[in-house]
Structure 1
Amino acid sequence: MEDFESALGRSSPNPKFIPDGLSFDAIVKNETPVPCSLNDFMDYLVFVEHQAEDLQFYLWYINYIPRWKALSARQKALSPAWEPGKAIKGPKFRLIPQLNNQKRGEKLHKILAHLKETDVEEKPDEAETAWKCPPIKTSFSPDDDFARPGTPPPQKAVEPPKPDWFTVQPFRNEYCGVVKHYIVGTSPRALRLSDKDREWCLTAAPHTTHPSALLPAFLAVEENLRSNLHPAFIRWIRSNANPASMYFLRTLGVLAVMIGMGLDAMLILSRLSRFIRIACVVFWWPGFAVFIAACKSLCLLLHFRDVRELRPWEIFPGDKEAEGVKDVYSPSPQAVSASEKEAEAGVSFVGTHSRKNTGDSTVSEGGKGGNGSDPLRKPSMRTFGPKNDYTDTRWYHLYKKRSLWSKIMDQTTPVQNPTLRKMQDRTISFAVVWAGVLSTVLAVASVLAPEMKMLKM
């Protein structure tokens, strides 16, 4: 995969606030500890952003590239690369339009050139290429059966039977299943693609299983993940408390500042020494620090304890999300190779990333032999599966029934990622320093205020 990643490059550099230890590539390879693992990223996309299909398709594609490269030249010849200049059918005979912008167009041609280099140029047997692609429809629907969509025209009795061009293509059944799931606009896991990208993919997919057929969709997904979803995930994961706790802390910070203001007003109206007014800093500094940190979604107390609150879906173990769910949209098992069966079973990503950073949920509470929840086997981590919907899950309904106080006092767990801890340290330092500056300004202004001597104290 290293050569493909070098050809792919980066759509844009990481924002300055994201350290290298939490980069997109590190998370996708599952090299980052909890709570910044690949499994946590997927949970965020499912439960917060509602765009999990982007990462699901991305993981399938980067796993498909090395499997395609491992094919023999004879197998690759059955599915040639799809060129940008291939003609498509329509009201007018025209060429496939170029991608959305020049930068993406240049990246597409670069990757196409790389894929061509990996295809060994070896002349296949004539028996395998003696037929042409039969007329195949260029529209898909999630209910289509792609096991054998058509058969060759009847042959003369004296001629030997020829293999079905459509089904002998490598990974054809899996490929069509991916098109049904992610490219067809009415599919439960349909990607948010432009009309041009979707037109390219739907036109090319019936003719070849070469990775280039779905390359525009991959580039669109990769750009969205790197530029939008990954930075949003880092900002979100930096928080060590849930929204209910953040609202409570902001209110508490404002209340502390207001108490300090009231005490300062009383001291100004009194006959006491003006230097006593500096005591109001006891309320101002912590109040401002708590408020500023809460605006950055951090709790000072939890940070000093080096813990974070559990997310709502982490509080209730054994949820339906982690249990085996039938892949209602999986393709037909006929004519599927062993590797494709692994993909349908949800294990196609083994080798793409490690399992060491996905938590300890691979063993059930019942011990050995139980049906424990494996974070790399749940439906959201599988290529084929139902819609990414969590409204019928157990944790969702149980968490809604909890009281406000119980949500504020959620369970906690240690922060295991040192890089994330350093990010939080910088944010807390920023909050404490600015709280000190604001408190100092208020204290100086209070001391310089004239004595009113209206209250006897």
Structure 2
Amino acid sequence: MVYSLGYRRPSYVSSSRDSLSGSEKPKSVNNSITPGSSGTSHGIPDAISFDRIVTGGTCPPVTLRDFMNFLKYVEFSAENLQFYLWFKGYVKRFEDLPESESRLSPEWTQRHEDAENAAYRSYLNQKPLTVEAAGILKAQNLAASETDSPPTEKQNPFNDSREFSSAHLPHESFGADTDTTRPISAFHSVKSGSTRVAELAFEDAGCNFPVTIQPFREEISRIITLYVSDGASRQLNLSSRERTALLKALEATTHPSAFRNVVKTVEWSLRRQAHPNFIRWSIGNGNRPRVIFARGLGIAGIISGILTALLTTLSTAGRGYRTLALIPFMIGIPTLIAAWKGMCVVLHGMHHRHLRPWELFEDDDPSGDTDLKKMSFDSLDSGTSYEDEPWVPKYEKRNIIRKVFDREVWVKEPALRQIQDIIFIQAVLAGLLLSGIIVGIFCAVPKGNFY
């Protein structure tokens, strides 16, 4: 694939979730997975599209592992990709279940979502309770809860989410009668629109058994604790409405369809924000000290060109000598332009790139631990911070000169090399044009004859 000289690398996309409304996100995601939709018009060729990266069809430095490291160490949002990969694996495992097990978790259909949305809108339209009424309702709920033995942490997988849910839905929806250790028939004793949604899922499937025997119930409880609950270690960037709807769906079923809307939000964030930023970042072949050093060289070259042009103009030398300024200009301007896009022209000449700080010390790990957990692919691992990883203090101790000339490796991805090639050509052509204009201006000025 050969790119045109008008190629532009992907623009930086902020992490704001408000750029699209909830109804526009599914359409945006669908557009992003249409063949050719991620083409060079957006700076991302199909060879390094989101789907190619996730399915393992790319080479370093744009592999799935590189994408995960970027989200973890650069954008600090690895939870989106971790959840997305978990869900893809979860769908496959759920589909592989025997029918006798999968039928225990009915599908969460659009009908159930519409019913839950109606209950939520009805709740929002209610008048707020007075202080006295709220106190009476709280006392009644406390009295009712004392009549039942409280479920244990192991019995109730939604223990971590009740505090959040009760802040957004009618309080009686989350009373003692919604204990997930009871048969589903117990839901009928609670007269609230939101609880009625849970009934619908089981009435449609003809089910009448405890939700605790549903497949993967313990795993779903773990996912809620890690990704959904308020204050979770890997809390997804969801709106309160999305979080509440998901918790209500998971109270009724562990079917993958319960995650339908949340997965759309996460996938939209990955495709339309994280992936373009990752490609933009990957185009740069040098670390920050090397790029700053390259910018300094570019500025020094431009200053040298200006001084050369000034000295030859003010002297008695002929106009032809002023063209000598083209040499430092042609070195400085392309170097500065390329460095402004994160590229070092010296590294590019060899199609090399610097190793990332977290890659430098992988061979120094005495344990040789290179499993998926170390690569942040363990979706059920509660750890998210990397400040305690061994490479952090080691890299901080490296002096600036060593960082500028850190270890280099070959850029293996052909599509990325071609993008870097076209950016280098653009920088050279821009340097040639600007150098010619600047030198032409100096050549038009009469000589000074000062020395």
Common fold by TM > 0.5: yes
Q: Distance in 2 between matches of 1:418 and 1:40?
A: 16
Equivalent position to 1:290, from 319, 335, 342: 335
Cross-structure match for 1:185: 230
Q: Distance in 2 between matches of 1:91 and 1:277?
A: 76
Alignment check: 8 A CA contact 2:286 2:342 kept? yes
Instruction: Say which of 328, 345, 352 aligns to 1:300.
Output: 345
Q: Which position in structure 2 is the counterpart of 1:120?
A: none
Q: Please tell me the residue identity of whatever aligns with 2:384.
A: N
Query: 1:90 & 1:60 partners in 2: Cα distance?
Result: 30
Output the amino acid matched with 2:351: D
User: Which of 147, 160, 175 lines up with 1:140 in the alignment?
Assistant: 160
Kindly indicate whether the alpha-carbon contact (under 8 Å) linking 1:242 and 1:408 is maintained by their aligned counterparts in 2.
Answer: yes
Name the CA distance, whole Å, in 1 between partners of 2:120 and 2:352.
Answer: 62
1:334 maps to which residue?
none
Deviations 1:13-64, CA, capped at 9 Å, x for gaps: 3252111110000001111111111000000000000000000000011111
2:379 paired residue number: 383
Aligned partners of 1:10 and 1:289: how far apart in 2? Answer: 36
Q: Which residue of 1 is the match for residue 289 of structure 2?
A: 244
In the alignment, which of 424, 428, 433 is matched to residue 432 of structure 1? 428
Q: Give the conservation status (yes or no) of the 8 Å contact 2:180–2:212.
A: no
Equivalent residue for 2:64? 38
Rounded to whole Å, the distance in 2 between the matches of 1:275 and 1:211 is 74
For residues 168 and 433 of structure 1, do their structure 2 counterparts lie closer, same or farther at Cα, with a shift above 3 Å needed?
same
1:318·1:373 contact (CA, 8 Å) conserved in 2?
no
**Are 1:60 and 1:383, in contact at CA under 8 Å, matched by a contact in 2?**
yes
Contact 1:319 1:395 in 2 (8 A): no
Q: Give the residue type in structure 1 aligned to 2:305.
A: G
Aligned residue for 1:199? 244
Farther off after superposition, 85-94 or 42-51: 85-94
Check conservation: 1:88, 1:95, Cα contact below 8 A: no
| 2:200 matched residue in structure 1 | none
Whether contact under 8 Å (2:65, 2:375) holds in the other structure is: no
2:357 corresponds to 1:312:
yes
Do the aligned residues in 1 keep the contact of 2:337 with 2:427 (CA within 8 Å)? yes
Task: Return the offset for 1:9.
Answer: 3.6
TM-score by length of 2: 0.72
1:226 corresponding residue in structure 2 = 271
Unpaired segments ≥5 residues, structure 1: 97-134, 144-148, 154-161, 321-364, 366-370
1:86 aligned onto 2:115: yes
Cα shift at 1:376: 2.8
Residue of structure 1 in register with 2:93 after alignment: 67
Matches of 2:83 and 2:157, distance apart in 1: 23
Alpha-carbon distance between aligned partners in 2 of 1:423 and 1:294, rounded to the nearest angstrom: 15
Describe the SS at the equivalent of 2:321: helix
Q: Secondary structure at the match of 2:376?
A: helix
**Corresponding residue for residue 54 of structure 1:** 80
Name 1:20's counterpart in structure 2.
46
Contact 2:181 2:212 in 1 (8 A): no
- 2:398 is the alignment partner of 1:402: yes
Q: Is the 8 A contact 1:139 1:202 kept in 2?
A: no
- Cα distance per residue 1:357-405 (max 9 Å; x no partner): xxxxxxxx8xxxxx53335342610111123211111111111111111
1:421 maps onto 2:441 in alignment: no
**Which amino acid in structure 2 is aligned with residue 214 of structure 1?**
F
Aligned to 1:327: none
Deviations 1:171-192 (A, max 9, x none): 1111111111111121101101
CA distance in 2, matches of 1:441, 1:189: 54
Equivalent in the alignment of 1:267: 312
Q: In terms of mean alpha carbon deviation, does 51-60 or 256-265 score higher?
A: 256-265
- Change in CA separation of 1:91 and 1:170 when aligned onto 2, cut-off 3 Å: closer
AA paired with 1:53? E
Q: TM-score scaled by structure 1?
A: 0.71
1:89-137 CA-to-partner distances (Å, cap 9, x unmatched) read 98985499xxxxxxxxxxxxxxxxxxxxxxxxxxxxxxxxxxxxxx979
Q: Structure 1 92/410 Cα, relative in aligned 2: closer, same or farther at 3 Å? A: closer
Q: Give yes or no for contact 2:59–2:412 (8 Å, CA) kept in 1.
A: yes
Q: Is the 8 A contact 1:151 1:164 kept in 2?
A: no
Letter in 1 for 2:115: K
Change (3 A) 1:379 1:433: closer
Partners of 2:305 and 2:329 within 8 A in 1: yes
What secondary structure sits across from 2:212 in the alignment? helix
What root-mean-square deviation, in Å, do the aligned CA atoms of Structure 1 and Structure 2 show? 2.9
Q: Match of 2:114, as an amino acid?
A: G
Give the Cα separation in 2 of the matches to 1:450 and 1:414: 50
Is residue 256–residue 287 contact of structure 1 (8 Å, CA) maintained in 2?
Answer: yes
1: CA distance, partners of 2:357 / 2:342? 16
In 2: Cα distance, 1:389 partner to 1:427 partner = 35
Residue 368 (structure 2) pairs with residue 372 (structure 1): yes
Q: Which runs of 5+ in 2 are unaligned?
A: 1-25, 126-154, 164-178, 184-206
Tell me the secondary structure at the aligned position of residue 86 of structure 1. Answer: helix
- For 2:213 and 2:225, how far apart are their aligned partners in 1? 19
Aligned residues: 350
What is the alpha-carbon distance in structure 1 between the residues aligned to residue 373 and residue 31 of structure 2? 29
Q: Tell me if structure 1 keeps the 8 A contact 2:220–2:254.
A: yes
Structure 2 CA distance for aligned equivalents of residues 415 and 379 of structure 1:
20
Instruction: State the Cα distance separating 1:447 from its structure 2 match.
Output: 1.1
Distance (Å, rounded) in 2 between the aligned partners of 1:291 and 1:250? 5
Is the contact made by 1:250 and 1:294 (CA closer than 8 Å) also made in structure 2? yes
* 1:125 matched residue in structure 2: none
Query: For residues 371 and 416 of structure 2, what CA distance do their matches in structure 1 show?
Result: 21
Match of 2:447 in 1: 451
> What's the % identity of the aligned pairs?
34
Instruction: For 1:185 and 1:9, locate their aligned partners in 2 and report how far apart those are by CA, in whole Å.
Output: 29
Give the match's secondary structure for 1:454: coil
Q: How many angstroms apart in 2 are the aligned matches of 1:428 and 1:377?
A: 38
Superposition deviation, residue 138 in structure 1? 6.1
How far did 1:303 drift? 0.7
